[in-house]
């Protein structure tokens, strides 16, 4: 059975999510503070993590940063506030998704199912390597290089770049990208895509890539344009 780590200092929340996780076929483990969450992560290597932002000892942002140093395990951040800066920070340090309290346990499990489907899809592919000009994306190891220099991207940014680049010159609407990368039962909005694209571009623009770019198609969405591609 897949394992899920639920980290939240509210015992009522962890208890509810624990029960719903069991119904979804997970083996849940709970943590009530950030340090315990890190210790359990190292001990059990969970398949997915639900991570509250505000916790004693170490907050969820720092826990996420530490986990991302060694693992690409899906992380869904839970925040009690809906400020955009918290959402952006969580996504920028490597979280795959976020959900705002108060939430329904059913919505949380829908996000979990979407994340687990993406893992199953990725694991079913072999030799996921894409090369165009000076860009190389190794989706098996989640490594992106430009001119043989590794680009520091989050898991979701790599998946976004992979989706666009492996479909050169195809225009994706924001809804297309939400469905492809966050799942059909994702309850987010187009700003999630826009914020990811903005951060992805900023990181890519630190390197020279004169022959390709991620273009905005106004009123529609985005596409990866290969300027030397004649096909």
Are 168 and 218 in a shared domain? yes
**Predicted confidence band at 39 (pLDDT cuts at 50, 70, 90)?**
very high
The residue among 102, 123, 144 that closes a domain is 123
- Rounded to the nearest integer, the mean pLDDT of the chain is 85
Are 118 and 16 in a shared domain? yes
**Predicted confidence band at 230 (pLDDT cuts at 50, 70, 90)?**
very low
Q: Flag whether pLDDT at 90 surpasses 90.
A: no
The residue among 123, 148, 173 that closes a domain is 123
Into how many domains does the chain fold? 2
pLDDT of residue 224: 95
Inside any domain, residue 231: no
The DSSP call for residue 53 is S
Nearest C-alpha neighbor of 219 from the set 163, 165, 173, 169: 173
Are 169 and 204 in a shared domain? yes
Name beta bridge partners: 7. Answer: 31, 51
Q: Flag whether pLDDT at 83 surpasses 70.
A: no
Q: Flag whether pLDDT at 58 surpasses 90.
A: yes
pTM (two decimals): 0.62
**Predicted confidence band at 225 (pLDDT cuts at 50, 70, 90)?**
very high
- In the block, tokens 């529609």 appear at 220
- Structural domain for 59, as ranges: 3-123
pLDDT of residue 84: 66
The residue among 123, 150, 182 that closes a domain is 123
CATH code: domain of residue 115: 3.40.50.2300
């Amino acid at each position: 059975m897949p394992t899920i780590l639920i980290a939240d200092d509210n015992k009522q929340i962890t208890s509810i999510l624990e029960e719903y996780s069991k119904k979804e076929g997970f083996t849940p483990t709970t943590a009530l503070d950030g340090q315990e969450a890190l210790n359990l992560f190292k001990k059990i290597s969970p398949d997915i993590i639900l991570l509250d932002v505000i916790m004693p000892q170490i907050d969820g942002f720092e826990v996420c940063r530490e986990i991302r140093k060694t693992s690409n395990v899906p992380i869904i951040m839970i925040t009690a506030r809906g400020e955009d800066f918290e959402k952006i920070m969580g996504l920028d340090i490597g979280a795959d998704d976020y959900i705002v309290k108060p939430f329904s346990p059913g919505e949380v499990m829908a996000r979990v199912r979407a994340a687990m489907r993406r893992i199953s899809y990725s694991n079913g592919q072999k030799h996921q390597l894409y090369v165009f000009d000076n860009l190389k994306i190794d989706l098996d190891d989640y490594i992106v290089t430009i001119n043989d220099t590794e680009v520091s991207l989050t898991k979701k940014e790599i998946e976004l770049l992979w989706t666009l680049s492996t479909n050169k010159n195809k225009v994706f609407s924001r809804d297309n990208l939400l469905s492809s990368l966050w799942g059909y039962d994702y309850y987010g909005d187009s700003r999630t895509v826009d914020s990811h694209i903005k951060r992805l571009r900023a990181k890519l623009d630190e390197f020279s890539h004169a022959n390709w770019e991620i273009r905005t198609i106004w009123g529609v969405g985005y596409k990866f344009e290969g300027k030397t591609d004649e096909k």
